[in-house]
Structure 1
């Protein structure tokens, strides 16, 4: 059957774009429906600061008048300015948010996204990325047998074949690691932590919720320095810093987010959040009429199975040093204790981690964690 693909125009079509995922994924017990309000915010210029430095075009596919697929095509101007050997760079565009009833629809949508990127002067694609590298990058290729934690994607297994048959090959893998945290870490870690506690140069403190904006700024400043040479790095703008702090403050538990200081200077941070997806999976993407109250009550003192560590960083000048590893193990252990004793957690998840980030992989393996999910970013020359 002939497939017609058109750009999304207006609020009604944006609603159709968003709603399609809920119809196509309804039978997947491991898919966590995102809040519809969050999806509207993600895709609306003026509400998501990503649009301030990006060109975005959404497309819908129809067959016999019914919506049967969707895709986003987008270009991040900040990513274009990054060095080419770090993943992005000049001429690199993206597509993401792919949903399709079948492979024919998917291939037509990918081809349309590629055509739009060519029209914009792009010569290469990295995909899927939805929308920013800091949101949901990559296609799930391992670990679809259990739900994702918050801010991680989940995709039908057939998507991998669809993308690869469209001429894409692997550019980078992003890994998440899981670890039991209710039984403590190996004795070596305990000794490293105890040694760090005797070092008067090191001070660890929790995030100050009364000065949350200040501490969020400190963490992002360290992140921009620590990750600046990593594959796929794109710096945060001031607007994105403020936006992220506002979005994440309600789920930030003061005692499980830490900043480390060396001789009084902030040099490292670690964020750990209770897995919000354990609640969202029950809500079918809707806060109203009653889910908002349930969520607010839960956020007072979340009891969860999993805590996720989505981000950590150590200033570049300390990386690959024994001191950096020691600080990292201290933050991990302190956060583990609180997650278990105050929130009932038994499992931690770390990630994502670049598949060639030897330092972070070594830390993950030292505490006994193993890879539980792999997300793959593909590339193709246009």
Structure 2
């Protein structure tokens, strides 16, 4: 019997609603056999990709691409350019001439190569001289390719991909430029004595106040926290500032997952100088929902959100104003926020485990905090780049 030969791969731009539906649905088909893959809510993915819904498009543009072979959709990728990223200093990772790609899904190496080539061609046509990825879609969404930690499902707002993708991307000429580390730590038994001593000393310091957020002043609190974030992270690799409309969008998206005792603001002499956001891991619920709240997902979700029991909590964002970074005060505030939230998390949410990250591989301050509480690496993501000569 003659071997079946596959036809050529064709790359087509997403133009219609049906194309976009295929773009979203493909991830479900290709990842369905992976027990660690958490299906995102499809409505959220559509919002991410849609100008007018996602305020990223106020300063960015994207081209979604589909790969087809023998009449079937076999891959997808996004190519995109962020004007705010182009305006950043080149030594910070983004900068002039740097375009991005992301949301890669492919059935095999041939499809992946064709998609990456098409994304690079589009970026070249837009005048870009370097491709950096994967980013889905901005550095604030799901950056990086998972290269370590495939066995367990990711926590909320962390990506997951096939372990095959790494070789396919590297074979296409991409080199690693930055690692993003995620840490895990058991929280039921508390932290080492040195951390307890730092927290106890901080509690006696009359200059320091650690407070819960006030959900009745949600918009003001969101602006305050994101203002600290834009300052705290401004020198970090890959930083792109969040705009006012993005801050409002993120706040609205996360509002149902905001619990006052899980988000803390640190004040010194009455000035807010640091924050820590902790979210219950809704992925524990989503993993069984196949991307839809219908027919009964709404009821389960609303019931869970009333008072979530979350075995794992994730710390997606934490920041201390630049003027205090690398000071003893900064680490004191960090340990106090972590410890205060840990105490409430065990009692109120039945939590046993904390997930912290991602952390840039050169962020010595956060790595020192992770080491001090004896957290261990549980997932590593990698961002790549390639010159577009």
TM-score bracket, normalised by the shorter chain, equals over 0.9
Corresponding residue of 2:100: 94
**Structure 1 Cα separation of the partners of residues 156 and 279 of structure 2:** 9
Mapped pair 1:267 → 2:237 = no
Mapped pair 1:54 → 2:67 = no
Mapped pair 1:185 → 2:191 = yes
Mapped pair 1:333 → 2:339 = yes
**Structure 1 Cα separation of the partners of residues 366 and 54 of structure 2:** 30
Corresponding residue of 1:231: 237
1:64 shift after superposition? 1.4
Unmatched 5+ stretches in structure 1: none
**Structure 2 Cα separation of the partners of residues 45 and 159 of structure 1:** 28
**Structure 2 Cα separation of the partners of residues 88 and 67 of structure 1:** 32
Aligned CA RMSD, in angstroms, stands at: 0.5
1:45 shift after superposition? 0.5
Q: What pairs up with 1:11-30 in 2 under 5 angstroms?
A: 11-30=17-36
Q: What pairs up with 1:1-382 in 2 under 5 angstroms?
A: 1-382=7-388
Superposed CA offset, 1:137-183 (max 9, x none): 00000000111011000010000000000000000000000000011
**Structure 2 Cα separation of the partners of residues 79 and 380 of structure 1:** 17
SS in 1 for 2:230: helix
**Structure 1 Cα separation of the partners of residues 217 and 359 of structure 2:** 29
Unmatched 5+ stretches in structure 2: 1-6
1:289 shift after superposition? 1.2
SS in 2 for 1:184: coil
SS in 1 for 2:178: strand
**Structure 2 Cα separation of the partners of residues 149 and 121 of structure 1:** 37
Query: After TM superposition, which residue ranges in structure 1, 4 or more long, deviate above 3 angstroms?
Result: none
Superposed CA offset, 1:47-100 (max 9, x none): 000111101000011111111111000001100000000000000001000111
SS in 1 for 2:293: coil
SS in 2 for 1:151: coil
SS in 2 for 1:348: strand
Superposed CA offset, 1:278-307 (max 9, x none): 111010100111101100110111101100
Pairs aligned (count): 382
